[in-house]
Amino acid sequence: MTTATSSPADPILAPALAGTGRAAHRRRLSVVERRIAWAQHRREMSRMITAKVDWVPFLVFASFLLSPEARFDLGGFQIFPYRFALFAAIPAMVLKFAKNSVRFGIVDILIFATGIWMFLATAVHYPIDVALKTGAANAFDFICSYLVGRIYLRTPLEIRRFLFKIGPLVLAAGAILVVESISHQYIFRPLVGVLTGNSPDYALLKMYEIRYGLLRATGPFQHPISAGLFFASLVPLFVSADLPRRAWVGLVGCLGGIFSLSSAGIGTVFVCFLLGFYDRIQARMRIGWAPVIWGVVIFGVFIEVFSGGGLLKFIIRNVALNPQTGYFRIAIWDYGSADVMRHPWFGIGYFESYSRPKWMHTDSVDNYWLLLALRYGVPCVVTLILACLLAAVNVGRSRQRAELGSLTGRRMATGVCLSIVVIYASVLSVAVWGAELAWLTMLLGISSGLAEEKTDTDAQSR
């Protein structure tokens, strides 16, 4: 970046007089000169963004957008597209790890502990072959997807390059949801099912629902709710990325999450957009995030004291578009948490159903944290919650000296922090699994890498 364009958001001043030995005569540039300087700045940022990029995280992300019907069986192990991509990425990750000498910290240890406990808790309840095919497979997905983000996306510039590359994929996935919703017909998953022989018809028939004249679309995702959360998690990232080219592509694609017609998905998408808009305002007015944090704290205390059921039940009950859904979520929490209290260490088992009355016909659990406790026990939940909190705090407090690739100087760390806080709070009313969970875990890895690598150096602009 040239001297005249190093701070495009500020008034641009004339450069120093070279070789005179005198202090430079600083003057404000004319309108034409400012336009020329801004165009030069944009070209420089574009050059950085479109430069060399690691394709491993891009290919892993692309595998998240392949439906579960693309799986195949290997000796009893279900190999989903994202799981295959993670396996294939291991050799490259080992080489990258050795080259970059990543320093592991407390968050990394908590993530590893969570994955190990998943396997141990499953092995307690089932024979070792079953534990390997379920607990070990889930632990592998969890740890390996985290390491992809942790090892490959450690600087603001690397994250911006990644977002620039995945923007068209996000737009395509969002467009599929729009078409499915308007046409009242699932398209992507049945098409993949025809090609692979793994039909999704039964699962899609159970999910088929028309709301407000539109189908709750799934696109390549396992459930409409998962689709909504997936797109919502990307909104703060694309807002903070501040890309000089194709900046709108990813954000427009994220609007496809609205067509999941999921209360959690739609609400989270809009909350992330609002927080991204607030970040732009607070950066200009220099008011910081204290008003938002204190507002959330005061609201939470008020609800906890005066709502009658406490903050947790208020969130579970009131995030549903359908009041009956909110009622059932409370019932699920009451009966499910009772089983957790009876089996706190290792849960009730991966394949078991929680104890409930006969009138509750389904054993689905619309709460990721509760589902985690039921399957693997409270220690697994505690370690993951601590990892999320520490990751958000660490990346929120990080101070990058220079945000290479940022058109107007926005901080990538802010978007990553917002995404983690909002999404992992939203799963109080949503259960995520499979590829969508792998992406959220990869997001945790991105936050840990970004918090560790606190400066962008000139060597990273290769």
Q: What percent of the chain has pLDDT over 70?
A: 78
- Segment 114-126 mean pLDDT: 91
Output the pLDDT for position 448. Answer: 87
CA gap 52, 58 in Å, rounded: 13
Output the pLDDT for position 403. Answer: 60
Contacts of 326 (CB under 8 A, 6+ apart): 316, 317, 318, 319, 320
- Give the CA angle between residues 50, 254, 386 to the nearest 5°: 90
CA gap 364, 19 in Å, rounded: 74
CA gap 160, 402 in Å, rounded: 13
Output the pLDDT for position 143. Answer: 93
Band of pLDDT at residue 24, cut at 50, 70 and 90: very low
Indicate the residue type of 352.
E
Output the pLDDT for position 29. Answer: 67
- Segment 268-272 mean pLDDT: 78
User: Could you report the per-residue pLDDT of 326-381, keeping only the tens digit for each?
Assistant: 667 777 878 888 888 998 999 888 888 888 887 777 777 888 888 899 999 999 99
- Give the CA angle between residues 149, 424, 232 to the nearest 5°: 80
Answer yes or no: is pLDDT of 172 > 90: yes
Output the pLDDT for position 4. Answer: 38
Gap between the terminal Cα atoms of the chain? 13
User: Could you report the per-residue pLDDT of 36-83, keeping only the tens digit for each?
Assistant: 766 676 677 667 677 777 788 999 999 999 888 888 888 777 888 999
Output the pLDDT for position 13. Answer: 43
User: HSE of 230 in the Cβ direction (CA atoms, 13 Å)?
Assistant: 33
User: Could you report the per-residue pLDDT of 427-441, keeping only the tens digit for each?
Assistant: 877 788 888 899 999
Q: What percent of the chain has pLDDT over 90?
A: 18
Tokens of 411: 């901080």
CA gap 152, 145 in Å, rounded: 11
Q: Are 292 and 278 in contact (CB under 8 A)?
A: yes
Sheet strands (E) in 287-412: none
Indicate the residue type of 12.
I
User: Could you report the per-residue pLDDT of 339-353, keeping only the tens digit for each?
Assistant: 889 989 998 888 888
Among 401, 324, 332, CA closest to 368:
332
3-state secondary structure of 74: strand
DSSP letter assigned to residue 30? P
Q: Are 25 and 139 in contact (CB under 8 A)?
A: no
Answer yes or no: is pLDDT of 21 > 50: no
Who wins on pLDDT, 381 or 279? 381
User: Could you report the per-residue pLDDT of 225-268, keeping only the tens digit for each?
Assistant: 888 888 988 988 888 887 777 778 888 888 888 888 877 777 77
Band of pLDDT at residue 11, cut at 50, 70 and 90: very low
Residue 95: count of CB within 10 angstroms of its CB: 11
- Segment 15-35 mean pLDDT: 54
Output the pLDDT for position 19. Answer: 42
User: Could you report the per-residue pLDDT of 184-217, keeping only the tens digit for each?
Assistant: 989 888 898 888 888 888 888 888 888 888 888 8
Among 106, 112, 364, 352, CA closest to 225:
364
Answer yes or no: is pLDDT of 159 > 80: yes
Q: Are 16 and 27 in contact (CB under 8 A)?
A: no
Q: Are 131 and 116 in contact (CB under 8 A)?
A: no
Contacts of 55 (CB under 8 A, 6+ apart): none
- Helix 434-452 vs helix 106-125: crossing angle, to nearest 10: 150
- Segment 399-418 mean pLDDT: 67
CA gap 114, 234 in Å, rounded: 24
Residue 9 CA, chain-centre distance (Å), reads: 29
Whole-Å CA distances, 103 to 107, 108, 451: 11, 9, 11
Answer yes or no: is pLDDT of 276 > 80: no
Q: What is the mean pLDDT of the chain?
A: 79
Answer yes or no: is pLDDT of 142 > 80: yes
Output the pLDDT for position 410. Answer: 65
Answer yes or no: is pLDDT of 110 > 90: yes
Answer yes or no: is pLDDT of 311 > 80: no
